[in-house]
Amino acid sequence: MLSHFSRATLRSVSLFLVTLVAACSPHAAQAGASNSLMDISADGKLLACSNRDSGTVTVVSLANHKVLREIQVGKHPEGVSFIGDSHNLAVAVYGEDKVLLVSAPDGGVIGAVDVFDEPYGVVSTADGSRLFVTLDYPGQIVEIDTKTRKPIRTIEAGPFARGIALGPKGERLYVTEFYTSTVRAFDIESGKVADEWKGSSTDNLARQLVVNPRRPKVYLSHIRSRVNEAHGSGSIFPYVAVPDTRPGEGSRRRRVPMDTFGQGRITANPWEVGINPDGTQLYIVFAGTNELFAANIEDDDYRELVFRRMIIAGNNPRAVRVSPDDQTVYVYNALDFQVLALKTSDLSNVATIDVTTNPLTSEVHRGKILFYSALPPMVGRRWISCSSCHPDGQPDGRTWKNPEGLRNTQSFAGMAYTHPVHWSADRDEVQDFEHTIRGPLMQGQGLIRGAVNPPLGKLNKGLSADLDALAAYADSHDFSLSPHSKGGLSDAAKRGRTIFFSEKANCASCHSGPFLTDSKPLSPDKLIRHDVGTGNDDPGEKMGPAYDTPTLLGLYRTGPWLHHGKATTLAEVFTKNNPNDKHGVTSHLKENDISDLVEFLKALPYEQPVPDVARVSKVEKK
């Protein structure tokens, strides 16, 4: 009896202590302290999640786990955050370059703040007076005054800034670069870089981070893209990185491998992490293998995390958040359009909440699930999915050493209209990626039953509904207009356009039509490829030196350029990489002319291209 009594007392004392710690730390239960696709209000009453495919934000009452309302916000919302301790929300509407402020209970729009391009992550100060928003492509942090709803400061953050979190005392911002996983701390008052934690040179796709309110640590998930290993057993790896925020030298950033963490369970594509209010538990969602992991945060500086529990969450989990009372963990399953409510203690299900209806056609939806899946039949050994290198159809910023040579990952924007695909035009339909699925990279069983046609041979379309769905999804990405031509072409871009269309430079002889490419889906013997002098000096090149003319639309955000990624600036396409004027005639151009030409290229597309239907309608072959 006595021992039972004392154990109960002990438990309530420790519970009391935990609550005390949570209450004393201003950050612990603060809504909007770190970016996520999901947030919980400071009072624990409301949850909001952004539905990228639906273009909405859904507000859920946590008292009964019922949807209160779904608010239309615009194309591709990403980060969502409660503002201070209020029930107002800030939403980063990535596809419309605006931050929308809305009232969660009634859905009323409070204001919209235009930003330069691609707002991704958003956090709010504890008092709700300021928002800080990362802009992905330009790599900036924008500070917004919530009273006047005006941007008041722009801080250069490093290219492709995505993750953002406020330090425990609100004096610092931690920001991640998407394509490097570099974490920087910015002193909010001065806007200067106060500290920096670089990852390994292969680190990639870090889109979010959280700060521990109790220990001097931040946590971010990312992958490694080992570009010299284009096979399934060594190319993509999942991690949680743990930078130590104390000033000083030495090993200041641990990296916890997530493929050996969960008792031998290999995971893929960690998307976001969540931390509990007292900083003792970390949760990680894997968007490729569909798990939720729960880990104990250790009070050491070497293990950092110890595996506690896991569950299969659902399709494509992209966000995880813990309630302020530490009782419930919420997981956002992006391709089930659901939020799961789970008990933090044992991850048992408390509720499953439908937060939006599937806005995709059933075919594109199926294809998207397959594209994100790192499970059979897509892969043999987990670790990797199509989306590991093509996240949301964007490039992974890498040049892979493929068996055919160096190949920079392309964007899928407008791909439906620019078949054939690959730099070498060696595939004429996305269904040909059955070869990738079955090949050394993914080692999957594949989607077609039986034999696959060779890439440029008879069509693989029509042989598997799943493979057709995968193609339908891959071909569903459209272009965003370039932020560099908002308000029209600049004078420099207009001069560049004149050069581009001049007979002398001759660019438009290949970069023609609405997508600025002459590439057409023709029979293999008639495929159009050009030797522009870029494929001769690489001993590893097996398919060159003639390549498919790439579209130039959307080029401003897809560096490095050329098939081998050796042009690290657009100017280098014409300077370093065009010594003999084989790639348009550019040797006569002066430095100003080149920079005008680059201004023009950066401004593409400045209007939505209208596909030439006749040209793209069918793969023309027997």
505 binds ligand HEC (CB under 6 A): yes
- Between 60 and 562, whose beta carbon lies closer to ligand HEC? 562
Amino acid identity of residue 92, one-letter, is: A
What does the buried/exposed string (b/e) look like for 119-152 if buried means 16 or more CB atoms within 10 Å of the residue's CB?
A: bbbbbbbbebebbbbbbbbbbbbbbbebeeeebe
Q: How many chain residues interact with ligand HEC (CB under 6 A)?
A: 49
Q: Six-digit token pair at 137?
A: 């492509």
In this complex, which beta carbon is closest to ligand HEC, that of residue 218 or of residue 378?
A: 378
From the list 130, 162, 511, 602, which residue makes contact with ligand HEC (rule: CB under 6 A)?
511
Closest CA to 182 of 211, 217, 166, 206: 206
Among 415, 448, 452, 469, binds ligand HEC (CB under 6 A): 415
Taking CB positions, which residue lies at the least distance from ligand HEC? 584
Does residue 390 belong to the site contacting ligand HEC (CB under 6 A)? yes
- Do residues 157 and 196 touch, judged by C-beta distance below 8 A? no
CB nearer ligand HEC, residue 255 or residue 583: 583
Backbone angles phi, psi at 575, to 5 degrees: -90, -85
d(CA 122, CA 132): 6
* Among 163-171, 300-308, 311-319, 551-559, the segment contacting ligand HEC (CB under 6 A): 551-559
- Nearest distance in Å: CB 369, ligand HEC: 13
Q: Which stretch binds ligand HEC (CB under 6 A): 79-87, 198-206, 207-215, 387-395?
A: 387-395
What is the smallest separation between the CB atom of 400 and ligand HEC, expressed in angstroms?
Answer: 4
Please report where in the chains the tokens 């996240």 appear, as a residue: 391
CA angle, corner 296, sides to 292 and 301, nearest 5?
125
User: Does 355 sit near ligand HEC (CB under 6 A)?
Assistant: no
The interface region with ligand HEC, picked from 111-119, 284-292, 357-365, 383-391 by CB under 6 A, is 383-391
Instruction: List the one residue from 115, 297, 384, 594 that touches ligand HEC (CB under 6 A).
Output: 384
Q: How far, in whole angstroms, is CA 243 from its chain's centroid?
A: 21
Q: C-beta of 393: minimal distance to ligand HEC in Å?
A: 9
User: Is the dihedral angle over the CA atoms 67, 69, 72, 78 positive or is it negative?
Assistant: negative
Q: Is 389 a residue that touches ligand HEC (CB under 6 A)?
A: yes
Q: Rounded to the nearest whole angstrom, what is the least distance from the CB of residue 27 to ligand HEC in the complex?
A: 37
User: Is there a contact between 77 and 94 (Cβ–Cβ < 8 Å)?
Assistant: yes
Identify the CA nearest to 116 among candidates 140, 80, 148. 140
CA distance 91 to 120: 9
With contact defined as beta carbons under 8 Å apart, do 136 and 161 qualify?
yes
| Choice from 35, 182, 204, 235 touching ligand HEC (CB under 6 A) | 235
- Torsion-angle region of residue 513: left (phi > 0), alpha (psi -120 to 50) or beta? left
Distance, in Å, from the CA atom of 241 to the CA atom of 256, rounded to the nearest integer, reads: 6
User: Which of residues 153 and 530 has its CB atom nearest to ligand HEC in the complex?
Assistant: 530
Q: Is 437 in the site for ligand HEC (CB under 6 A)?
A: yes
Site string for ligand HEC, 563-582 (x = CB under 6 A): x------x--x---------
Which residue in this structure is represented by tokens 């930003």?
A: 115
Give the interface segment with ligand HEC, choosing from 48-56, 168-176, 203-211, 380-388 (CB under 6 A): 380-388
Q: Residue 180 to residues 35, 161, 175, 198, 347: CA-CA distances in angstroms?
A: 18, 10, 12, 8, 32
Piece of 216-224, 247-255, 347-355, 423-431 that binds ligand HEC (CB under 6 A): 423-431
Query: Nearest distance from residue 260's CB to ligand HEC, in Å?
Result: 20
| Cβ neighbours of 335 (radius 10 Å) | 22
Per CB under 6 A, 204 contacts ligand HEC: no
What is the closest distance, in whole angstroms, from the C-beta atom of residue 543 to ligand HEC in the complex?
A: 8
Question: Does 506 engage in binding with ligand HEC (CB under 6 A)?
Answer: yes
Does 495 help bind ligand HEC (rule: CB under 6 A)?
A: no
Q: How far apart are CA 595 and CA 582, in angstroms?
A: 19
Give the number of other Cβ atoms within 10 Å of residue 236's Cβ: 26
Q: Is 44 left (phi over 0), alpha (psi -120 to 50) or beta?
A: left
232 neighbors 211 (Cβ within 8 angstroms): no
The window from 107-115, 241-249, 340-348, 507-515 that contacts ligand HEC (CB under 6 A) reads: 507-515
Q: Which is nearer to ligand HEC, 186 or 473 (CB)?
A: 473
Of 61 and 506, nearer to ligand HEC (C-beta) is 506
Residue 37 within binding range of ligand HEC, rule CB under 6 A: no
Q: Least distance to ligand HEC from the beta carbon of 75, Å?
A: 21
Are 593 and 494 contacting, i.e. CB atoms less than 8 angstroms apart? no
Instruction: Select 151 or 403, whichever has its Cβ closest to ligand HEC.
Output: 403
**Is residue 407 close enough to count as binding ligand HEC by CB under 6 A?**
yes
Does residue 474 interact with ligand HEC by CB under 6 A? yes
Residue reference for tokens 């949301």 = 392
Q: Does 219 bind ligand HEC (CB under 6 A)?
A: no
Distance between CA atoms of residues 141 and 155, nearest Å = 5
Amino acid of residue 189: E
Instruction: Name which of 212 and 290 has its Cβ closer to ligand HEC.
Output: 290
Nearest to 132 by CA among 177, 178, 99: 99
Rule CB under 6 A: is residue 443 a binding residue for ligand HEC?
no
Q: How far is the CB of 407 from ligand HEC (least distance, A)?
A: 4
Is the distance from CB of 78 to CB of 92 less than 8 angstroms?
yes
Q: How far is the CB of 364 from ligand HEC (least distance, A)?
A: 13
Place of tokens 């959280």: 210
**Contacts of residue 297, Cβ cutoff 8 Å, sequence gap at least 6:** 212, 215, 217, 275, 279, 280, 281, 282, 304, 305
- Quick check: 182 binds ligand HEC (CB under 6 A)? no
Our CB check for ligand HEC shows the closer of 140 and 388 to be: 388
- Applying CB under 6 A, which part among 33-41, 281-289, 304-312, 560-568 lies near ligand HEC? 560-568
**Site residues, ligand HEC (CB under 6 A):** 235, 384, 386, 388-390, 400, 407, 409-410, 415, 421-424, 430, 433, 436-437, 441, 470, 474, 500, 505-507, 509-511, 530, 532, 534-535, 547, 549-550, 552, 555, 558, 561-563, 570, 573, 583-584, 586, 597, 601
